[in-house]
Amino acid sequence: MKTKYFILFGLIITTIGLYIVRTKGDDIDIKDPLPLKIWENKNETKPILFYLSGDAGLGSFSKSICKNLHQKGYDIYALNSKVYFWNEKDPKKTAEILSQFLEEKFKHHKNRHCTKNCVSIKFCLG
């Protein structure tokens, strides 16, 4: 009987632990269609930085990189890869969503006769 309760307790603790790991780093500004953390300066002379986090999500290391670049005047859109790719995604659909998002960002700047580039940054520890 004790073994049965021990196994049940272990399963409950494991489930709670997995939930905590899954939701850690979910500090995002936009949930749909992409889980993004945004740092904007509206600086039209510097390129947009599109940051893709590692599979651990937007942890303190990723946030410190983004904050430092933001302080230098860059607009940064950081995709929380852990949250977005937790469930399998269709590559074509992902490319379409990313393309639409970036086109919308560039549309604002084109209306002001400003040319702006996008730099993609990817961080992965492993």
Residue ranges per domain, the chain? Answer: 27-122
Contact 58, 37 (CB under 8 A): yes
Summarised one tens digit per residue, pLDDT across range 47-106 is 888 899 888 888 888 899 999 999 998 889 999 988 888 888 888 998 899 888 888 877
Widest distance between CA atoms in the chain: 74
Q: Please tell me the predicted confidence (pLDDT) of residue 4.
A: 74
Higher-confidence residue: 3 or 35? 35
Residue 100: other Cβ atoms inside 10 A = 12
Which tens digits make up the pLDDT trace of 32-64? 778 889 898 877 778 888 899 888 888 888 899
Query: Which spans in 24-122 are helix H?
Result: 60-71, 81-84, 91-110
pLDDT on residue 22: 53
